[in-house]
Structure 1
Amino acid sequence: MTLLCRVIPCLDVAAGRVVKGVNFQNLRDVGDPVELAQAYFAQGADEITFLDVTATVDERATTYDVVRRTAEQVFIPLTVGGGVRSADDVARLLAVGADKIGVNSAAIARPALIDDIADRFGAQVLVLSLDVMRSAAAPSGFVVTTHGGRTQTTLDALEWAREAIERGAGELLVNSIDADGTKTGFDLELIALMRELSTVPVIASGGAGELDHFAPAISAGADAVLAASVFHSGYLTIGQVKRHMATAGVSVREVSA
C-alpha cells in the first residue's frame, strides 16, 4: 500500500497569536490560531502543527487554552510543541486535545525526556522537532539549535536524530533555520541525509515558497511537507499544493475543488 504524503500547515504561536518571520527573527502577527486552523482544515490539511515559538525562551508553559479551542474546531491530527519539559506536560496537552507532541530544546538539555515520553505514551505520540543550521563545525555539516533557533549548539544534527529515534522518537520534524521564511525552497540535502538515517517518518520544514518546491521535498525523502508563510498570506492554498503534487506523481489525499 502506498502511503499518502501529508501537507501540514504550521501555526507558530506567540502570546496566543500566530506569528511568522524570516530565519526565526522579526516575528509579525498573522492571525488568530483557531481561525487559521479552521480555514486549513476546510482546505484539506492532513494535520495541523502548533508550535509555541516563545514558550521555551519565556520559560512558560504552552498555551493550553489555545490548544483546547483549536482541537474543538479541527478534526485532524494536531501536533503541539513548545515549552514541553516533562511527561506530565505531555499528559496535559493530550488531555486538552493534542494528538502528538513535539519536543526540542528540553530534549536536547535532557535526552532521557524522549525515553520518558515514549515509555509512557508510545512512540506514535512523540515528534522530535529539529531546528537545524548549517555549520562546518559538525561532521555532517549540520547542527541543531535551541530556543526557537536562537541558540546554536555543537550537537551534530544527524547524530542527534539517530539517538532520538533509538530513544523512542516516532517522527522527525526537520526544520531548516537557514531556509526558514526565505521562500527559496526546502533544503533537499538535509532532507535526503535525514531520510537515509531515519527509520521513522520525516517531515520537511523551512523554505516553501512556490508550488514547485513541495514535490522535490518528497522526492528527496520526506514523508510530509510543512509550510507556514505561503498559507498564512493566502499566496497558496492546501488544495493547490496537493493538486500540484499529484500532477508531479506524488500520492496525496484528494481535496475538494
Structure 2
Amino acid sequence: MLNPRIIPVLLVHEKGLVKTVKFKDHKYVGDPLNAVRIFNEKEADELVVLDIDATVEGRDPDIEMIGNLASECRMPLCYGGGVKTLEQAKTILGLGVEKVAFSSLFFEQPELLTRLAEQVGSQSVVVVLDVKKKLFSGYECYVHNGQKRTKISPIKAAILAESIGVGEIVINSIDCDGMMTGYDLDLINQIKSAVAVPITAIGGAGSHDDICKLIQQEGIIGAAAGSLFVFKGKYRAVLISYPNRNEKELILS
C-alpha cells in the first residue's frame, strides 16, 4: 500500500545546487552530490533532481552528473531536465534512476511517453506540471522553466497525462515556489480530485506544519519541498535538513 512521501527537491543550475523564488533569483546552496549524501544519512523517502537549464538551453541531459548522483543515492531517485528521446530516458533509467520526469516533451509529443511507459513501466514515467495562476481566475501550465505558456489548464493536462499511461504527476506551483508560505491546497485538491494516478506537490512548504496540512487534506500524496530542506531561519542560511523519525511520525499522524 502506498504511503505519503516526504521528498526533497534539488534544482541544478550550471552544475551547482540552487534554490529559486517563483522560478527566478537563483541562490547557490551547494554541491548536488554532497546534498545527496546528506539526504542519504537523513533517510529521505525519495529525491527529485531537476536540471532547470537543460530544456531551456536545448541541451541534452548531463549523463555523467546523473550517473554520479544515482550511484551515490540510497533512496528512490527521480530525474528531470532535457530528456527528449526514449533512448535518453532508457539510458538514465539504466544508471539506477527509478523515475524520469518530463515537462515540455509531454506537451509536445505525449505519444512518446506512452511508448516509454509501455516499455519500462508506467511507474518510471513522471509528468511535471509547472502551474501559474491566471490573471483573473483559474490556472495555466507553463514549460521551459516557467518561461513559455501552454494555454492548457493543469486539470486538462493531468487528465491527458493519466490517459496516456503516466505513472505519476508532479504539481509544481510557480506562484508558491520559494515563498515558504504554504502549498496551494486548492490547486492540489482540484488536480488530485480529477485523476487517480499518484500526485506529488511542490511549491510553498515553509514548515513541517505545511506538509502536515497537505497530507491531512489529501491523504496519500508526495509532499515535496526545496527551500524547507535547504534553508534555516528568517535569513535563509543554507543548512540541509529533513524530518527525523519522531518528527516524521508527527507529520504523518
2:249 match: 246
C-alpha separation between the residues in 2 aligned to 1:198 and 1:215? 22
Shift of 1:46: 0.6
| Counterpart contact for 2:230–2:241, Cα < 8 Å | no
C-alpha separation between the residues in 2 aligned to 1:15 and 1:62? 12
Query: For each residue in 1:33-74, what CA deviation from the matched residue of structure 2 results, as whole angstroms up to 9, or x when unmatched?
Result: 111011012112011101000110010012111111111111
**Structure 1: which 4+ aligned runs deviate by more than 4 Å?**
none
Q: 1:243 to 1:144 in 2, by over 3 A?
A: farther
Q: 1:105 to 1:246 in 2, by over 3 A?
A: same
* Larger mean Cα displacement after TM superposition, 107-116 or 185-194: 107-116
Q: 1:244 to 1:191 in 2, by over 3 A?
A: farther
Match of 1:224 among 217, 222, 225: 222
Q: TM-score, normalised by structure 1?
A: 0.90
Query: For each residue in 1:61-118, what CA deviation from the matched residue of structure 2 results, as whole angstroms up to 9, or x when unmatched?
Result: 1211111111111111110001111111101111222110000011112221221211
Instruction: Please show how residues 47-196 of structure 1 align to structure 2 within 5 Å.
Output: 47-135=46-134, 141-196=138-193
Matched residue count: 246
C-alpha separation between the residues in 2 aligned to 1:213 and 1:245? 13
Backbone CA RMSD of aligned residues: 1.7
* Larger mean Cα displacement after TM superposition, 47-56 or 114-123: 114-123
- Counterpart secondary structure, 1:119: helix
Q: TM-score, normalised by structure 2?
A: 0.92
- Counterpart secondary structure, 1:180: coil
C-alpha separation between the residues in 1 aligned to 2:187 and 2:41? 31
| Counterpart contact for 1:191–1:220, Cα < 8 Å | no
Identity %: 32
- Counterpart secondary structure, 1:155: coil
C-alpha separation between the residues in 1 aligned to 2:230 and 2:16? 12
1:254 match: none
Q: Which amino acid aligns with 1:237?
A: S
C-alpha separation between the residues in 2 aligned to 1:199 and 1:35? 35
Unpaired runs of 5+ in structure 2?
234-239
C-alpha separation between the residues in 1 aligned to 2:23 and 2:106? 20
C-alpha separation between the residues in 2 aligned to 1:153 and 1:243? 42
C-alpha separation between the residues in 2 aligned to 1:68 and 1:172? 24
Unpaired runs of 5+ in structure 1?
252-257
1:255 match: none
